[in-house]
Amino acid sequence: MKIPDALAPFRSRNYRLFYSGHAISLTGSWITQTAIGWLVYALTNSTVMSGLAMFLSQVSHFFVTPVAGVMIDRVNRRTMLLAVQFGALASAAGLMFFQLFDGNAVWILMTLCFVRGLVGAVEIPTRQSLIAKFIDDKRDLPQAIGLNSTLFNFTRIVAPAIAGEVYALWGAACCFALDTVLMIPTIFLLAAMRFDAKPVPAGANCGPLCSLLEGIRYTFSVPVLRTVICGIALLSTFGFSYTVLLPMFADKIYEGTPELYGRMLTVTGVGAILAALLIAFLKRRRLLPRFLIIGNAIVGTSLIVISLVPPLWLFFVMLFTAGFGSVLVGASSNTLVQMNLCERFRGRVISLYTMAFTGTFPFGTLLLGAVNEAAGLVPSLGLSAAVCLGLAMWFWIRRKIFR
């Protein structure tokens, strides 16, 4: 039976192993992230502290990821990928023991969030740079990226619902324990992969700093890479950071429980997964630049409605559309970057994209949490919406560079 084009990457053994392991690890990671979000808010009753927790868990993505990109282009990527999986296992176990023995010390929780972020700052660009190695036919790369985004957002649907139920029944410690256990089969599956992970030789006289600067110069010399990476950095800072306010919406505004918070994340994930599937099954790649315009406009409009505190059913609709628009931009951006870079610079370019995508997000959460407490919902989310709508206009003006 012929495999549909959107599923073509599954013809590759390495991709099947990677996808299975990544599905398991993502599930555990989303469970932990959901539990941390509610736990911090429950301990502090502050959106600023919730924003600080997200900030610490991802701020290292901004500073460490570019350095990781240099390492990726210089060392065996398979060894590096396995090493960071053990780091993820250790960070999940640390959160579990913290909650079991001293679950009220907020500063310890914040420190563990930072350590967890350090691991992610190396793991994400390492994994992203290897996707092309996992597939036998490089023509399947766009479909592989779309499937990865689909998986990310499918686990985003399932895991928060699981986390909400587990947290309500047994507490945060069980959420962290579940993440720890799920990392074990992930490591075995990734270890079973076989592929050429040797780095592309660098220049003879180019040290790490030189290599980093070389990668930055190359990235900003390519108009498509420069435009997409700067755009996703702004969207991540202002368009994605509304999630830091969801615990407050669930608890104070809609007077709910951890289960309601989990459902909010799940609804956002439903919209996201539909956008990811659209990218995976898309055959007309020239539509990707248009998705950058449409997606930003959708996110901006959704945030305007959310800021007005609509009825709960309309709030859920706007979370759905915000999730759809966010991933429409994110998956399109990832595909455009992967398709327009030189292999010698892959690790460094992907690390810069990762820095823009995940490294700017914590600054946005910290900013939005502070503006919300100082000025209220409408100014904070209004600012985010204005940036998103401005990005839609900017991509429309710059649309000719994608031809």
Residue 199 domain flag: no
Contact (CB, 8 A) for 324 and 272: yes
pLDDT at 24: 92
Residue 98: both structure tokens together: 């913290």
CA 394 to chain CA centroid, nearest Å? 23
Owner of token pair 């690390």: 351
pLDDT in tens, 84-134: 899 989 999 998 988 888 767 788 888 888 998 889 888 888 888 888 788
* Domain extent for 282: 5-194+205-398
> Which CATH number is 143's domain given?
1.20.1250.20
What is the average per-residue pLDDT within 226-251? 87
Residue 219 domain flag: yes
Residue 264 domain flag: yes
Q: What is the pTM of this model?
A: 0.80
Residue 367: both structure tokens together: 């900013």
Nearest to 372 by CA among 307, 314, 323, 327: 307
Amino acid letter, residue 295: G
Owner of token pair 């919902």: 377
How far apart CA 377 and CA 254 sit, in angstroms, is 14
pLDDT at 298: 96
> What confidence tier does 41 reach under pLDDT thresholds 50, 70, 90?
confident
Q: Distance between the two ends of the chain, CA-based, in angstroms? A: 36
pLDDT in tens, 309-357: 889 899 999 999 999 999 899 888 988 888 888 777 888 888 889 888 8
CA atoms within 13 A on the CB side of 130: 28
Quote the number of domains for the chain: 1
How far apart CA 143 and CA 124 sit, in angstroms, is 19
How far apart CA 181 and CA 31 sit, in angstroms, is 12
Lowest pLDDT segment from 105-114, 141-150, 222-231, 380-389 = 141-150
Nearest to 239 by CA among 346, 394, 109: 394
Angle between helices 141-170 and 172-191 (to 10 degrees): 150
Amino acid letter, residue 124: I
Q: What integer best gives the mean pLDDT of the chain?
A: 84
> What confidence tier does 1 reach under pLDDT thresholds 50, 70, 90?
very low
pLDDT at 194: 83
What is the average per-residue pLDDT within 137-153? 79
Residue 221 domain flag: yes
What is the average per-residue pLDDT within 160-184? 87
Give, in order, the Cα–Cα distances in Å from 163 to each of 120, 170, 263, 266.
20, 10, 10, 11
CA 209 to chain CA centroid, nearest Å? 27
Residue 297 domain flag: yes
How far apart CA 67 and CA 208 sit, in angstroms, is 8
227 or 254, higher pLDDT: 227
Burial class (CB within 10 angstroms; exposed 0-12, middle 13-18, buried 19+) of 195: middle
pLDDT at 320: 94
Residue 382: both structure tokens together: 């209004």
Owner of token pair 């904070």: 380
Asked if the model's pLDDT at residue 140 lies above 80, the reply is no
